[in-house]
Amino acid sequence: MTKLNTYWRSLTLRRKWAFTSAAVLFISFALVCCILYVAINSWLLNEEKSSVTRSMDDLTAFFETRGSGLTIDEIQRNTGLMNSIIDKNQTVRILNKDGIEILRLNNTSEEIPAVPQTLPLKGYMMQQVKVDGEDSFVTTGHLRLGNFSGYLQLTHPLKALTSLMKYILTSMLLMGIIALIASWFISSALATVLLKPLKRLSSDMKRVADHRFEEPIQVTVESNDEIGDLVRVYKQMMAELESAFLQQQRFISDASHELRTPIQVLEGHLSMIQRWGKDEPDILNESLATSIDEVRRMKQLIEELLELARHEAKDQSQSADVFVQTEIVLKEMKTIAPTAEIKLHYNEDFQKSHVAISENAYRQILHNLLQNAVRYTSSIPSINIYLTFDLNNCTIVIEDNGIGMSPESLEHIFERFYRVDKARSREHGGTGLGLSIVKMLIDKYAGELTVSSILNEGTTFTIRLPLYLAQESS
Ligand code: ADP
């Protein structure tokens, strides 16, 4: 069994397919043949049986009507009537008490079948036995004629039936072999045609794996079946993988570039301190201040990079009270940007204030957006926060009066390290990762984030977060 298993596993899918469908076709054909064979055989046997019964009934009736006066000699002299009763392939014998033949009509069998030990007193007994090597029906009954008492025996050879059944069996076997060969070829051809897209898919996968997305995915699909679906899913998956792969490559090169700049600045200032700093306190102080700034920037950059890379699994059981958490962030903002005017607007008419997101994540989202609103403005920042609730969601709108962004820039702001104005962002301690983190967190908690902006007028970020529904039961 294990050998068969190993052999089966070593077969190609095409062979397995061809083998299985050929086997199924052949077994179905063989089953139909068997049923047909048995049905024909029993139907023909019944026909033969009724012919024997008919002859035997006629013979019995003949002897009964002729009365007890009839003698064996008379029968011998006048066999014509009895001959007309029986079929020409049947042999009728009259045997004495010892089973010795006294009279025979027709001569289709030489051998005299033995009289059965137990015979019914009335009627006759039918058996299927071999006579002269041939299958035959032998019917035996008691016979009384005047003083004579013996047996009446009818032998009905089944030669015609046997040879017909042999002929049918041979034809069926021949047809079976032809069906087996034909079904193997048809199944193989079908399997080849159906598995062709899979073969193309596998060679395409190999090519892509060898060249690491340098060559385009070529496989095409026309069919709407399962294989077509598989190829489509594969193409979609490969496109996503390719974009993730390219994004990762860009991220690594961007991250190394971003980290290299502060390290170079730090190195320059430390060298300066080493050379002149000991003697010139001005240079020492300035270089130390710049170095500390650079180290802070690097620390923030590393923290944000780690935040993005961590990408923890979301915790379904966590929730945040929008009002409590917003107040916490507003307090923080007051210390960071005391001049900024931040107003919170909300409708009193709401049932639930918990959203399905962790408190940390909520605060980080709001913090990043408010920090940007404060950073990217040329006047005193004036920010409005609107909180609205519907049956399933909470919508948070953050509207600022900042410098705004052009439609081209808007398309890229959620990309890592993207900054509309590099110098301005750096000047305010920006890393180009704030909005990527916001987007990542909102996606993680199944929220939605949209942005609209008008250059020199302001920007509006709209966040939709699902309400925490388990709140009702607690
Ligand atoms: P950064 O650390 O540079 O602020 P972000 O990912 O937070 O990085 O933002 C990406 C860029 O989008 C910023 O550099 C800035 O140019 C632009 N930006 C973000 N928020 C605003 C805003 N409220 N108003 C104008 N520009 C913005």
Domain map of the chain by residue range?
A: 10-164, 226-310, 320-472
**Most confident of the ranges 149-158, 234-243, 395-404:** 395-404
pLDDT value of position 68: 66
**Most confident of the ranges 31-35, 140-144, 219-223, 281-285:** 31-35
Length of the chain as a residue count = 474
Q: Which atom of ligand 1 is nearest to the CA of 414?
A: 6
Find the mean pLDDT for residues 126-136: 89
- Tell me the pLDDT of the chain averaged across its residues: 85
Find the mean pLDDT for residues 274-289: 83
Residue 458 Cα to ligand 1 midpoint, Å, equals: 12
Residue 84 Cα to ligand 1 midpoint, Å, equals: 117
d(CA 463, CA 363): 13
Residue 421 Cα to ligand 1 midpoint, Å, equals: 9
Find the mean pLDDT for residues 195-224: 77
d(CA 82, CA 125): 20
- Does this chain's domain 226-310 share its CATH topology with 320-472? no
* Nearest C-alpha neighbor of 259 from the set 432, 8, 88: 432
pLDDT value of position 305: 77
Instruction: Place 313 in a pLDDT band, splitting at 50, 70 and 90.
Output: low
- 340 in Cβ contact with 374 (< 8 Å): yes
CATH 3.40.190.10: does it fit domain 320-472? Answer: no
Q: What is the pTM of this model?
A: 0.52
CATH number of 10-164, picked from 3.30.70, 3.30.450, 3.10.450, 3.30.160: 3.30.450
pLDDT value of position 311: 63
d(CA 256, CA 304): 14
Cα pseudo-dihedral 347, 349, 353, 355, rounded to 10: -80
pLDDT value of position 400: 96
Structure-block tokens of residue 471: 């709140």
Q: Which has the minimum average pLDDT: 53-62, 137-146, 248-257, 267-276?
A: 248-257
pLDDT value of position 471: 46
Better-scored residue on pLDDT, 413 or 248: 413
Burial (CB < 10 A; 0-12, 13-18, 19+), residue 256, is exposed
What lines the ligand 1 site, CB under 6 Å? 368, 372-373, 376, 400, 402-405, 413, 418-421, 425, 430-436, 459
Better-scored residue on pLDDT, 442 or 97: 442
To the nearest whole percent, how much of the chain has pLDDT over 70? 96
Find the mean pLDDT for residues 171-189: 88
pLDDT value of position 245: 82
Structure-block tokens of residue 138: 């032998």
| 226-310: CATH architecture | Orthogonal Bundle (1.10)
pLDDT value of position 473: 44
- 305 in Cβ contact with 255 (< 8 Å): yes
Is the model's pLDDT at 5 over the cut of 70?
A: yes
Is the model's pLDDT at 172 over the cut of 60?
A: yes
pLDDT value of position 44: 94
To the nearest whole percent, how much of the chain has pLDDT over 90? 33
Residue 19 Cα to ligand 1 midpoint, Å, equals: 64
- Pocket-testing residue among 435, 438, 439, 450, ligand 1, by greatest number of atoms within 8 A of Cβ: 435
- 319 in Cβ contact with 468 (< 8 Å): yes
Indicate the angle between helix axes 159-211 and 226-272, nearest 10 degrees: 20
d(CA 377, CA 373): 7
- 431 in Cβ contact with 304 (< 8 Å): yes
Q: Which atom of ligand 1 is nearest to the CA of 429?
A: 2
pLDDT value of position 66: 72
Q: Which has the minimum average pLDDT: 214-218, 417-421, 452-456?
A: 214-218
d(CA 214, CA 343): 52
Indicate the angle between helix axes 13-66 and 159-211, nearest 10 degrees: 170
pLDDT digits (tens, 9 = 90+) for 346-400: 987 777 889 999 888 899 899 999 999 999 998 899 999 999 998 899 999 999 9
Rg of the chain (C-alpha set):
51
